[in-house]
Amino acid sequence: MLTKEIEKCLNRQIELEFESSQYYLSMASWAQRHGYTGVTKFLYLQADEERAHMIKLFHFVNDRGGHALVPALAAPPTDFGSVKELFKKVFDHEQLVSREINELVDECLKAKDYATHNFLQWYVAEQIEEEKSAQTLIDKLEMIGNDKGGLYLFDRDLENFAPAQEPNAA
């Protein structure tokens, strides 16, 4: 059974995954409007993944005797400046999520809730992958600089992007 405090923390994480999904969806829309087909595809996939992370939490909370709540969300930003700025925002956002997951893991240890602690290890592993993937894309964009041909190839490469295998289900 979840304690009220851990249930509240997990619902906060649900909100954050939901927010991430909406954020990436808004980025996908921006990229689509600007004709970046590869970036668009990547971001739609990312938005779907974040939604799946949220649903996974929903099931866990309800299975453990809590009540998973659908949060009210503020609308995400709609303008992302450039592809490089956009991916920097993705990286910053993923770092924020990692910090929140770490806090949550810490709360579980304090509450001696080892079941939730164990469940959250999947998210810890997933965050490592997501930070790495955002950092790799930023490194490539740094390399490209202002070269439009380079940006074209970057976008084309992302069209063939296959998301990294997610960690095994907890």
Q: Shortest approach of ligand OFO to residue 103 CB, angstroms?
A: 14
Inter-residue contact 104 to 10 (CB < 8 Å): yes
Distance from chain centroid for Cα 22: 10
**Interface positions, 54-93, toward ligand OFO (CB under 6 A):** none
For residue 121, the number of C-alpha atoms closer than 13 Å in the C-beta half-sphere is: 10
Binding-residue total with ligand OFO (CB under 6 A): 9
Nearer to ligand OFO, 50 or 113 (CB): 50
Question: Residue 97 and residue 164: Cα distance in Å, rounded?
Answer: 18
Interface with ligand OFO (CB under 6 A), residue from 7, 50, 107, 155: 50
Q: Comparing C-alpha atoms, which of 39, 26, 29 is closest to residue 137?
A: 39
Nearer to ligand OFO, 69 or 91 (CB): 91
Check binding of 100 to ligand OFO (CB under 6 A): no
Interface with ligand OFO (CB under 6 A), residue from 10, 25, 28, 53: 53
Q: Shortest approach of ligand OFO to residue 57 CB, angstroms?
A: 9
Options 57-65, 124-132, 144-152, 162-170: segment touching ligand OFO (CB under 6 A): 124-132
Per DSSP, the three-state class of 122 is: helix
Options 61-69, 82-90, 106-114, 122-130: segment touching ligand OFO (CB under 6 A): 122-130
Nearer to ligand OFO, 126 or 155 (CB): 126
Structure tokens at 125: 């592993």
Inter-residue contact 131 to 95 (CB < 8 Å): yes
Long-range contacts of 142-149 (CB under 8 A, 24+ apart): 142/84
Check binding of 19 to ligand OFO (CB under 6 A): no
Structure tokens at 1: 């059974």
Binding residues for ligand OFO (CB under 6 A):
17, 20, 50, 53, 94, 97, 126-127, 130
